């Protein structure tokens, strides 16, 4: 294999990164749905000829498709699928349509480009295709195994017709699918240009070197931060939508020689409802790897080079390895708790580099009905919450877990759908107190301008996001409806479908905050006052959580000093973790 000099390697690395972001841009320009076009719920990657991700966000799944098709992969082919069970969990629910195409240069395969994105609707028993009470995947929509949507450049119209015929939003799905394919073709062009410029052998060698470099860096992180003696952490998912729960998730981490072991033994059995997360072993490795890179050394290029350094234990029949045909549609509650468990376990070995728990899912709001012209509409929006306090500073207020996600512009919602956003603001006191405050959740108030039905899914309504290193737990989520002509809010469940609404009704959607980092009694009083003035923290929480006394809008320095002394004496040493007000059955456990 050709050697690659450092300058060429740097050029190819950055060209691939640019191509990966160009994929995002192409998708955003072609897609129609607000979920992909405005919120960027799509995940691109560029892989080598063996299907290993070199740049991107979600890898691991292409080798499984290669196993199914073998030599029957040709230039001009484009594959599509969405069934988690048919691709070993490479996508995790039916709304995610995954597109993959092989990249050829002068007749030789040099890689793959792939993107998956969330489709607004893929059939199933409710609009949006994520029924809160599903008991099997059959209720959640059309299952598509890996199939060629293009065969040597020729569109398979029959496959496309079946896919679109099973959606309530075929026009959006058609456009979004075209966007995913266009993004992949853009990446193929950029890779072919690199092969033209540097030669195919040099490009291939550069990809291997980038994978090797990440592996070498990860090996150092493993020796530095993964102990030989196991450390464990447990967190909980509220419920499964069918009245069952809370569900325990337990993670143990330890090192055996060069290998980091991540063991989920002790995690509860799969749920009756749709919160199961059927996770591919490679995807599990990827999630651990990206957390370690982001927490411990963000300069490392994120790719699949480190996979052989990780060993994953996923007990069969558990919440993270359910048996077919378990429902999977609302698996993000479990997915994000996966990250919280990582933070809790790794934080015991390197507390100075870890963080607390976040808002704990990917909350969604769906509103459907017919507008004044009798035309069907379906709006889906992902909402965000508090990102936890961290070593470098306060958590982010009303932010997404996924770095490139963004909120749907209010102007977009109000222009295309019969809804008005009355207010959009942080939830006061929802960020856990700490030396670095946890990020606040958000409250969004929707005024519905037509009759219809709404669906809601959220979590961390009963299990608060915990704080770390002396930081305190953050606030939980809640949902409310104010019927037209009334001012009295009525609480509605965090998971509900097909709630009938009338014109003029208002929905108050409050997401959870996040845990604080570090001792709140060490936080600068001026920073607490600033948060009070910004309506992120109340005067009561300033006093009770931070020991800061505010009178007439100013800090009472003498009273603050006395209160902080007393609170330290009463509390003693700050706890490593503050789990907040857990339900009684978990306190007993």
pLDDT 10s digits, 6-34:
999 999 999 999 999 999 999 999 999 99
Report residue 522: phi and psi, to 5°.
-95, -5
* Residue with token string 């470098």: 392
Percent over 70 (pLDDT), the chain: 99
Note the pLDDT of residue 104: 98
Statement: residue 568 has pLDDT above 60: yes
Confidence band for 255, pLDDT divided at 50, 70 and 90:
very high
pLDDT, average across residues 559-565: 98
Residue 408 token pair:
């749907």
- Distant-in-sequence, close-in-space partners of 269: CB < 8 Å, separation ≥ 6: 317, 318, 319
Note the pLDDT of residue 67: 83
1 vs 401 pLDDT, higher one? 401
Q: Give strand ranges (E) for 284-434.
A: 310-313, 364-370, 376-382, 419-426
What's the DSSP call for residue 62? H
Statement: residue 1 has pLDDT above 60: no
Burial class (CB in 10 A: 0-12, 13-18, 19+), 75: middle
Statement: residue 246 has pLDDT above 90: yes
* Residue with token string 């020729």: 154
- Pairwise CA distance, residues 119 & 167, whole Å: 9
- Pairwise CA distance, residues 568 & 88, whole Å: 51
- CB-based burial, 200-227: b 16+ in 10 Å, e otherwise: bebbbbbbbbbbebbbebbeebbeebbe
pLDDT, average across residues 277-297: 86
What's the DSSP call for residue 466? P
Statement: residue 588 has pLDDT above 60: no
pLDDT, average across residues 538-565: 97
List pLDDT tens digits, range 138-150. Answer: 999 999 999 999 9
Distance of CA 187 to the CA centre of its chain: 24
- Distant-in-sequence, close-in-space partners of 32: CB < 8 Å, separation ≥ 6: 171, 172, 175, 176
Confidence band for 423, pLDDT divided at 50, 70 and 90:
very high
Note the pLDDT of residue 278: 93
List pLDDT tens digits, range 315-326. Answer: 999 999 999 999
Statement: residue 286 has pLDDT above 90: no
- Distant-in-sequence, close-in-space partners of 537: CB < 8 Å, separation ≥ 6: 428, 429, 431, 433, 437, 528, 531, 545, 546
Note the pLDDT of residue 68: 85
- Pairwise CA distance, residues 477 & 510, whole Å: 5
Confidence band for 404, pLDDT divided at 50, 70 and 90:
confident
Q: Which of 121-125, 278-282, 360-364, 504-508 has the lowest mean pLDDT?
A: 278-282
Note the pLDDT of residue 321: 95
Q: Which of 89, 556, 412, 404 has its CA nearest to residue 276?
A: 89
Note the pLDDT of residue 211: 96
Burial class (CB in 10 A: 0-12, 13-18, 19+), 335: buried
**Taking the model in full, what pTM does it have?**
0.94
Note the pLDDT of residue 2: 63
User: What is the overall mean pLDDT for the chain?
Assistant: 94
Note the pLDDT of residue 383: 96
Confidence band for 583, pLDDT divided at 50, 70 and 90:
confident
Say if strands 452-457 and 554-555 run parallel, antiparallel, or are unpaired.
unpaired
Note the pLDDT of residue 587: 61
Confidence band for 589, pLDDT divided at 50, 70 and 90:
very low
């Amino acid at each position: 294999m050709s050697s690659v000099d450092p300058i060429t390697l740097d050029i190819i690395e950055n060209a691939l990164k640019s191509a990966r972001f160009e994929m995002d841009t192409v998708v955003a320009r072609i897609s129609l749905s607000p979920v992909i076009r405005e919120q960027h719920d799509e995940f691109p990657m560029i892989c080598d000829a063996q299907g290993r991700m070199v740049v991107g966000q979600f890898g691991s799944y292409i080798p499984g498709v290669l196993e199914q098709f073998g030599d029957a992969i040709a230039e001009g082919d484009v594959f599509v699928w969405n069934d988690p069970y048919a691709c070993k969990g490479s996508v995790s629910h039916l709304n995610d349509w995954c597109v993959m195409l092989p990249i050829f240069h002068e007749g030789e395969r040099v890689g793959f480009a792939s993107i998956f994105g969330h489709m607004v609707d893929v059939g199933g028993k409710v609009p949006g295709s994520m029924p809160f009470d599903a008991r099997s995947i059959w209720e959640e929509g059309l299952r598509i195994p890996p199939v060629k949507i293009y065969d040597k450049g020729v569109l398979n119209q029959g496959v496309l017709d079946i896919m679109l015929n099973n959606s309530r939003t075929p026009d959006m799905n058609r456009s979004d699918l075209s966007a995913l394919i266009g993004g992949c073709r853009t990446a193929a062009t950029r890779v072919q240009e690199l092969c033209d410029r540097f030669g195919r052998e040099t490009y291939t060698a550069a990809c291997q070197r980038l994978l090797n470099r990440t592996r070498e860096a990860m090996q150092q992180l493993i020796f530095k931060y993964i102990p030989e003696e196991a450390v464990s952490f447990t967190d909980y998912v509220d419920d499964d939508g069918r009245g069952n729960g809370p569900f325990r998730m337990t993670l143990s981490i330890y090192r055996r020689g060069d290998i980091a072991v991540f063991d989920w033994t002790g995690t509860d059995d799969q749920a009756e409802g749709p919160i199961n997360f059927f996770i591919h072993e490679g995807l599990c490795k990827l999630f651990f790897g990206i957390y370690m890179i982001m927490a411990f050394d963000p300069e490392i290029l994120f790719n699949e080079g480190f996979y052989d350094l990780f060993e994953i234990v996923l007990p069969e029949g558990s919440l993270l390895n359910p048996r077919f045909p378990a429902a999977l549609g609302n698996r993000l509650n479990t997915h994000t708790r996966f990250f919280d468990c990582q933070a809790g376990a790794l934080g015991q070995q390197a507390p100075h580099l870890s963080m607390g728990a976040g808002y704990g899912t990917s909350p969604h709001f769906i509103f459907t009905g017919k507008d004044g012209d009798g035309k069907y509409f379906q709006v889906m929006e992902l909402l965000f919450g508090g990102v936890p306090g961290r070593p470098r500073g306060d958590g982010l207020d009303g932010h997404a877990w996924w770095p490139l996600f963004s909120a749907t512009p209010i102007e977009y919602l109000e222009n295309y759908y019969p809804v008005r956003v009355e207010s959009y603001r942080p939830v006061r006191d929802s960020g856990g107190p700490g030396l670095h405050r946890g990020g606040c959740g958000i409250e969004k108030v929707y005024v519905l301008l037509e009759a219809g039905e709404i669906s809601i899914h959220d979590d961390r309504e009963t299990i608060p996001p915990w704080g770390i290193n002396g930081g305190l737990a953050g606030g939980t989520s809640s949902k409310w409806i104010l019927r037209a002509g009334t001012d009295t809010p009525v609480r509605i469940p965090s998971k509900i479908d097909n709630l009938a609404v009338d014109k003029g009704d208002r929905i108050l959607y409050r997401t959870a905050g996040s845990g604080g980092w570090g001792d709140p009694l060490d936080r600068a009083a001026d920073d607490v006052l600033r948060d009070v003035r910004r309506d992120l923290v109340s005067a009561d929480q300033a006093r009770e959580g931070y020991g800061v006394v505010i009178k007439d809008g100013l800090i009472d320095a003498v009273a603050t000093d006395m209160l902080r002394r007393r609170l330290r004496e009463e509390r003693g040493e700050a706890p490593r973790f503050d789990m907040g007000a857990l339900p009684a059955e978990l306190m007993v456990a």
